[in-house]
Amino acid sequence: MLQQRLWKITYISIAAIIGILIALYGFLTFRLPSYNGRLESDKLLQPVDVYRDSYGMPHIHAANEHDAYLALGYAMAQDRMFQMDLFRRAANGRLSEVLGESTVRTDMLFRAITAPRPPDDIYASQPQEIKAALIAFSEGVNLALERESKPVEFLLLGYDPEPWKPQDSLAALYLMSWDLSPAFSHEVLYSLLKEKLGPRELAELFPEYVSGAPDILTGSTASLDGLKSAYEAHRTMEALFGTEDAGASNNWVVGPGRSATDGPVVANDMHL
């Protein structure tokens, strides 16, 4: 009798677990973007075709630049809306609004970086054709926000993404510039170690640093505590975006004699 009850409890438990997994799978699948179908919008000037290949990469066929940028914004938001939101939050110093105290220092760092020339100022200085492209891209992102299910990350963190602005795309350039500037961490680390080590030890650790070249502390009022805080904020950002050991960009060329068109092919694969 006891054995039968144990088996019954086991069967019920297994069935409950399977039911929960099926429900979770259905919930997550429902929130995935839909790549099939037809959408209409008065934002488009002419029809646009977006074809997804076997790798899920979008191929956009548009009759004009405005529609191409709009479709690009829509497709990018389908695939990367949460990542896009993190990027603009990081660049604008607003990560801690959704991630808590762990990113307060990174917010302070990037607000200091963008303070001399905020994204609004950069946008205002752009020529009209650049503004038009940024506006069209933003319209595509916002159209996806209206019509597509939000990624599950927004549900888990308990917030909805704000409408995308043209300035948000420019703000992301700050993050890319930071990612491509290893000198920031090198300079800060060099200045911190300078207080502990002698010239010979520093030369061994930083052989690429030219003797007598200026460093962050030269002619500066920066304190060691401030540098430590900036370096810790930098490392937190690297961990968040997975760029601690990122690298390995590559380029390759196919000669005219080896291409189908009898012309050279240049491929640039930047790992950003």
Tell me the CATH number at 64. 1.10.439.10
Do 226 and 196 have their domain in common?
yes
pLDDT reported for residue 261: 86
In a domain, 252, yes or no: no
In a domain, 107, yes or no: yes
Splitting the chain (272 residues) into consecutive groups of 10 residues, what average pLDDT does each group show? Answer: 63 67 57 74 91 90 96 95 92 92 88 85 94 97 92 90 95 81 73 77 74 58 68 76 68 88 86 69
pLDDT reported for residue 16: 66
How wide is the angle at C-alpha 239 spanned by C-alphas 76 and 144, nearest 5°? 15
Do 125 and 197 have their domain in common?
no
DSSP reduced 3-state for 117: coil
pLDDT reported for residue 202: 78
Do 61 and 15 have their domain in common?
no
Calculate the alpha carbon distances from 249 to 177, 180, 197, 246, 270 in Å: 16, 12, 34, 9, 5
pLDDT reported for residue 216: 54
Do 222 and 128 have their domain in common?
no
Cα Rg of the chain, angstroms:
25
Q: Which of 180, 207, 226 is the last residue of a domain?
A: 180
Do 162 and 51 have their domain in common?
yes
In a domain, 270, yes or no: no
In a domain, 114, yes or no: yes
Q: Domains in the chain: how many in total? A: 3
Best CA proximity match to 241, nearest among 80, 133, 129 = 80
Distance between CA atoms of 138 and 165, rounded to whole angstroms? 6
In a domain, 264, yes or no: no
Do 12 and 44 have their domain in common?
no
pLDDT reported for residue 115: 79
In a domain, 249, yes or no: no
Do 65 and 124 have their domain in common?
yes
Do 50 and 85 have their domain in common?
yes
Strand partners, 250: 269
- What H or E segment, with its residue span, contains residue 185? helix 183-194
pLDDT reported for residue 85: 95
pTM listed for this prediction: 0.74
Query: What tokens appear for 97 in the block?
Result: 């609004």
Calculate the alpha carbon distances from 44 to 31, 95, 147 in Å: 25, 33, 15
SS (H, E, C) 152-170: HHHHHHCCCCCCCCHHHHH
Do 41 and 172 have their domain in common?
yes
Do 139 and 204 have their domain in common?
no
Residue-number span of the structural domain to which 207 is assigned:
183-241
pLDDT reported for residue 188: 75
Q: Report the catalytic residues.
A: 249
Do 219 and 171 have their domain in common?
no
Categorise residue 158: left if φ over 0, alpha if ψ from -120 to 50, beta otherwise.
left
Distance from the first to the final alpha carbon of the chain: 64
Do 211 and 230 have their domain in common?
yes
Best CA proximity match to 92, nearest among 207, 173, 192, 196 = 173
Best CA proximity match to 69, nearest among 143, 171, 173 = 143
pLDDT reported for residue 144: 94
Strand partners, 253: 266
Q: Which of 180, 195, 222 is the last residue of a domain?
A: 180
